[in-house]
Amino acid sequence: MKLHSSVYLFLLVFINVISFMKASLSDTGIVDLPKLDYVSRGANQLRTVKPDEKQVAVKFGIIGTGQAGGQIADTFYQKGYRRVFVINTNTQDFLGLKLPNDYKLVMPSEGGSGKNPSMGNDAIKNSKEEVINYMKNTFGDDVEHILICTSAGGGTGSGSTPELITLAKDYLKSQGKEPNVGLLFSLPKFSEGGLAHKNSYHFIEKIEPMISEKLISPVIVTDNQTIYQMFPNVSARMFWRKANGHVVGIFDTLNILASQESEFFTFDRADYHSILNSGILLFGATNVKKYERESDISDSLRKNLANSLFAEGFNIKESTHAAGIFVASEGILDSLPQSYLDQAFVTLERVLGAQNRGLNLFQGLYETSTEGLFLYTIIGGLKIPEARKNELATKAGLMQ
């Protein structure tokens, strides 16, 4: 009894002291500060390399640079990829990312790089060791292909990408591996200022020789202008989610499919590797809603192909590689005649102008638990359209 009352007394005094401290703190005008995220500025502590959270065909290491790159890389993280980190010249650009903080690296730079690619370039040149450490600690030695994500129109991402490509290649070579490095970049909307267009134009000029010499592959272009034309009324927040979700979603689906067997046609790892090494890729996804008649699927394919590729102006008749992968629910697989699918592949070849030009066309057919019939298309070995480059140059004031 005695013991109880002294514990009670102690608690009472303790609570009073705490309330007094609280009261006097608020009396002095000191407010609760928001919880600040700690973001590593240097070599990150050794941590265990985490495997991806699902079975995929290729173990990608993903680096996002700049704000857009960070958001795209974060979308991969949200899809279960774990060999992912982001770099930038400031912490604000990391806002909203789901990646844990020690997967974010700030490269010191004088006041960010404010759409100035040479600042982005300087920043990475001064942070090479830190970036290499991040690769070691995030990718480890179990990585097959490194994918760099960036926008072309900003400063940090576009300016740091060329050096990042070199660092990523050197990292893979240091492990006795093929220097497989790819690039996923975004192009600006028309409404963005001249500087975004100028940076994008110079960015393309820099990377084009590397693409044609097959020094980087795959190269995936997300054209924000095309996406904007398709979804003009989407809110600002949803716009980037949609843009990033679409491209990362298809990329991820293909990486999953290529790791799986199919009792019909398998789009296997070798096919996937061949596509990944074919340079510039366009991805498309179509929900085939009509499949009652033989011509329905090919009609839908023809109509939707251009729309679903999310990048305009590419001459798909120049493609060197392509894949058409059907994913269908059980009921559809049971009833759909094979000839309908064959007809669709023939149509794909025709749309790509593939007759007698040695196009590598891969096919796949998989079962899914989601009700419906879906067609994924990948078209590889393309060139950046001259018309789009001219548009960038004109908006940049580089062409009169």
Ligand X SMILES: Nc1nc2c(ncn2[C@@H]2O[C@H](COP(=O)(O)OP(=O)(O)OP(=O)(O)O)[C@@H](O)[C@H]2O)c(=O)[nH]1
- The reply to whether 197 sits near ligand X by the rule CB under 6 A is no
3-state SS, residue 29: coil
Look at residue 279 and give the partner it binds from ligand X, Mg ion, none, a contact being a CB closer than 5 to 8 Å depending on partner kind. none
Which residue in 157, 213, 226, 222 sits closest to 181, CA to CA? 213
The smaller minimum CB distance to Mg ion, of residues 93 and 268, is found at 93
Tell me which residues in 200-219 interact with ligand X (CB under 6 A).
Answer: none
Among 134, 240, 310, 326, interactor with ligand X by CB under 6 A: 240
Q: Are 301 and 320 in contact (CB under 8 A)?
A: no
Dihedral (CA of 35, 39, 44, 47) sign: positive
Among 64, 112, 279, 284, interactor with ligand X by CB under 6 A: 112
Tokens of 78: 């949200």
Q: Are 378 and 282 in contact (CB under 8 A)?
A: yes
Look at residue 240 and give the partner it binds from ligand X, Mg ion, none, a contact being a CB closer than 5 to 8 Å depending on partner kind. ligand X
Look at residue 244 and give the partner it binds from ligand X, Mg ion, none, a contact being a CB closer than 5 to 8 Å depending on partner kind. ligand X
Per-residue x/- marks for ligand X, 77-96, CB under 6 A?
------------x---x---
3-state helix, strand, coil in the chain (%, to 5): 45, 20, 35
The smaller minimum CB distance to ligand X, of residues 88 and 298, is found at 88
The smaller minimum CB distance to ligand X, of residues 113 and 255, is found at 113
Question: Closest CB to Mg ion belongs to which residue?
Answer: 67
The smaller minimum CB distance to ligand X, of residues 57 and 250, is found at 250
Q: How far is the CB of 154 from ligand X (least distance, A)?
A: 2
State phi, psi for 237 to the nearest 5 degrees. -65, -45
Stretch that binds ligand X, among 237-245, 281-289, 300-308, 373-381 (CB under 6 A): 237-245
Instruction: In whole angstroms, give the CA distance from residue 114 to residue 155.
Output: 6
Give the Å distances, CA to CA, from 243 to 71, 83, 101, 112, 324.
10, 22, 24, 25, 22
Among 121, 161, 180, 186, interactor with ligand X by CB under 6 A: 186
The smaller minimum CB distance to Mg ion, of residues 93 and 163, is found at 93
| Residue 378 identity (one-letter amino acid) | I
Binding site for Mg ion (CB under 5 A): 67, 93
Instruction: In whole angstroms, give the CA distance from residue 58 to residue 218.
Output: 13
- The reply to whether 188 sits near ligand X by the rule CB under 6 A is yes
Stretch that binds ligand X, among 6-14, 16-24, 67-75, 358-366 (CB under 6 A): 67-75
Tokens of 138: 């995030």
Q: How far is the CB of 184 from Mg ion (least distance, A)?
A: 17
Q: How far is the CB of 301 from ligand X (least distance, A)?
A: 26
Size of residue set near ligand X by CB under 6 A? 27
- The reply to whether 243 sits near ligand X by the rule CB under 6 A is yes
- The reply to whether 267 sits near ligand X by the rule CB under 6 A is no
Angle at which helix 194-212 crosses helix 117-125, to 10 degrees, equals 50
- Strand partners for 387: none
Q: How far is the CB of 89 from Mg ion (least distance, A)?
A: 7
Q: How far is the CB of 54 from ligand X (least distance, A)?
A: 23
3-state SS, residue 149: strand
Look at residue 157 and give the partner it binds from Mg ion, ligand X, none, a contact being a CB closer than 5 to 8 Å depending on partner kind. ligand X
- The reply to whether 66 sits near ligand X by the rule CB under 6 A is yes
- The reply to whether 153 sits near ligand X by the rule CB under 6 A is yes
Cβ neighbours of residue 25 closer than 8 Å, sequence gap 6 or more: none
Cβ neighbours of residue 133 closer than 8 Å, sequence gap 6 or more: 43, 44
- The reply to whether 225 sits near ligand X by the rule CB under 6 A is no
Task: Give the burial string for 321-332 (b: 16+ CB within 10 Å, else e).
Answer: bbbbbbbbeeeb
Q: Are 97 and 74 in contact (CB under 8 A)?
A: yes
Q: Are 173 and 179 in contact (CB under 8 A)?
A: yes
Q: How far is the CB of 149 from ligand X (least distance, A)?
A: 9
Stretch that binds ligand X, among 60-68, 258-266, 339-347, 386-394 (CB under 6 A): 60-68
- The reply to whether 71 sits near ligand X by the rule CB under 6 A is yes
Residues contributing to the site for ligand X (CB under 6 A) = 66-68, 71-72, 89, 93, 112-115, 151, 153-157, 186, 188-189, 192, 196, 222, 224, 240, 243-244
